[in-house]
Amino acid sequence: MSLASRRVARLAAFSLRRSAHASTSARYNSVNADDIAHFSKFLPTSTILSTLPPQSLPSSELSPFNDDWMNKYHGQSTTVVRPRNALEVSEVVKRCNERGIAIVPQGGNTGLVGGGVPIKDELLINLGNMNKVRSFDPVSGILVADAGCVLESLSEYLAPHNHIMPLDLGAKGSCQIGGNVSTNAGGLRLLRYGSLHGSVLGLEVVLPDGTILDQLSTLRKDNTGYDLKQLFIGAEGTLGIVTGVSILTAPAPQSASNVILALPKFENVLPLFVQAKRQLSEILSAFEFFDREVYDLAIKHGQGRALSEEDVEGAECFVLMETSGGKREHDEEKLNQLLETLFESDKPLINTGVLSQSPAQFASMWAIREGLTEAVSKEGKAYKYDISVPLAKFKEVVDTTREHLGSKGLLRDDAVKHVVGYGHVGDGNLHLNVVAAAYTPEIEAALEPFVYELVASYKGSVSAEHGIGVMKTHALHYSKSNVSIEWMKRIKQLFDPKGIMNPGKVLP
């Protein structure tokens, strides 16, 4: 295929996506004043926000719900409802099912693939008012909570009970546990505590016809047939609305340390990871990588305290390593031994390392890593590719993408400003971020399907943890076979024959 015809094909793909959005909305009815009156029979007025009469709010009041975190995707929903319990969610969904109104379930709206905002004027069901802990058993560590509980508030709830949530991410102050489950969020603790497919023990879900599926089990072992809850973990709200979550939390570590290591070249990351695993074994709880360019952005945009000039000099990239365990002396001894080995080696893998000396320093070092996403979005408009590729290929992916954009003449201050990489090395998950002055069809056409083809050439995944949302429906086939997609469609059809639950998301 000639370059010119390939460009036409890519632009066609771009406009196809736009028209797919348009046809999605044509199948559904819009919310009208009768629907609002119906909702008002069982929802207090304060839990309905609408630009329709009788409220007639200005549309700006709905912007926090219609616009996504990156300000990249914009819905035009006229109405947001904020139910307080599963019964109210069920009543709203029953009405939508009868009337053929499309629904978008929404948590903290921190998703990065446009899944939590409408494509057009779907009804938004925001779970923020469902924010109570239902029970906690300090013996088993099992927590049962409403889906709208903010992740950080659950961590705060658990702290006095000496437990922690099995997941942690930079968006913890806003994202909700129901959103985390629905995106199968990974984050910073996956290396130690595994994925939500393992730690979620049960779910309560309102199905697309309004039925409440109560699978809120608190059992760690239950082999009684199909494990339905797994279908909703990572379904991004396309199969039902999660209203309650039962999750296994972990005992809080008695000691935790972190260290930022400055590396002269990326090639040293993998040998360092191997050595860290060997010497730290059970106390290694995080191993995060970020390149120099994104570190500089974090510092520029005030995320964490800068390392000294001396510490960053000559560094191509950094690794943030965390240890956590049960006995401070034991853990510190192991970490110190590793650092000694690294510094004393004939062929050192690292230039320098900064070991946290206080809880404040520990937090500040994590703030750099957790603030990378925010720093990137403060710098410009971010094209975010959250991919799984073999660890050895992390740098190659970033470099190849940068070269490709350069070959298109797009590496300019008024187009693409930065191409950066960071990620969870322990999970093989790279966040490739292209920071541009503006979102433009030209940059999108240069990036897609280029990035997805690159990922597929390494037999990787086009979404390691952020999900598919609306951003990647056309790219699903790079990571899922036709047979898998066909069965996903059948499952969707079974649960949601009218297709009202978050249409246009996940499935092409």
Q: Which residues form the interface with ligand FAD (CB under 6 A)?
A: 69, 104-112, 115-116, 127, 147, 169-171, 175-176, 178-180, 182-183, 185-187, 236-237, 241-242, 373-374, 465-466, 469, 502, 505
Q: How far is the CB of 336 from ligand FAD (least distance, A)?
A: 29
- For residues 287 and 350, which CB has a smaller minimum distance to ligand FAD in the complex? 287
- For residues 234 and 353, which CB has a smaller minimum distance to ligand FAD in the complex? 234
Q: How far is the CB of 301 from ligand FAD (least distance, A)?
A: 12
Amino acid code (one letter) for 414 = D
- Closest residue to ligand FAD, Cβ-based? 179
Q: Would you state the structure tokens that stand for residue 79, as one six-digit string?
A: 């109405």
**Pure H helices in 82-149:** 86-99
Contact (CB, 8 A) for 502 and 179: no
Q: How far is the CB of 204 from ligand FAD (least distance, A)?
A: 10
Amino acid code (one letter) for 4 = A
Q: Which of 398, 365, 387 is nearest to 298 (CA)?
A: 365
CA distances from 461 to 183, 420, 458, 476, 484 (A): 15, 18, 9, 9, 14
- For residues 37 and 494, which CB has a smaller minimum distance to ligand FAD in the complex? 494
Q: How far is the CB of 194 from ligand FAD (least distance, A)?
A: 14
Contact (CB, 8 A) for 201 and 228: no
- For residues 237 and 449, which CB has a smaller minimum distance to ligand FAD in the complex? 237
Q: How far is the CB of 188 from ligand FAD (least distance, A)?
A: 6
Amino acid code (one letter) for 334 = K
- Report DSSP letters for 18-29, one per residue: HHHHHHHHHTSB
What gap in Å lies between CA 49 and CA 51, rounded to an integer?
7
Q: How far is the CB of 300 from ligand FAD (least distance, A)?
A: 16
Q: How far is the CB of 13 from ligand FAD (least distance, A)?
A: 22
- For residues 48 and 376, which CB has a smaller minimum distance to ligand FAD in the complex? 376
Secondary element (H or E) of residue 275: helix 269-280
- For residues 105 and 141, which CB has a smaller minimum distance to ligand FAD in the complex? 105
What gap in Å lies between CA 311 and CA 358, rounded to an integer?
19
- Distance from the first to the final alpha carbon of the chain: 25
- For residues 242 and 284, which CB has a smaller minimum distance to ligand FAD in the complex? 242
Q: How far is the CB of 469 from ligand FAD (least distance, A)?
A: 6
- For residues 124 and 248, which CB has a smaller minimum distance to ligand FAD in the complex? 124
Cβ neighbourhood burial of 40 (10 Å; 0-12, 13-18, 19+): middle
Determine the 3-state secondary structure of 310 from DSSP. Answer: helix
At residue 138, φ and ψ (nearest 5 deg) are: -70, -15
Q: Which of 480, 469, 500 is nearest to 183 (CA)?
A: 469
- For residues 91 and 331, which CB has a smaller minimum distance to ligand FAD in the complex? 91
* Residues near 389 by beta carbon (within 8 Å), at least 6 away in sequence: 397, 428, 430, 455, 458, 460
- For residues 298 and 416, which CB has a smaller minimum distance to ligand FAD in the complex? 298
Residue with tokens 């979404």: 463
What gap in Å lies between CA 443 and CA 216, rounded to an integer?
45
Q: How far is the CB of 62 from ligand FAD (least distance, A)?
A: 15
What gap in Å lies between CA 203 and CA 406, rounded to an integer?
47
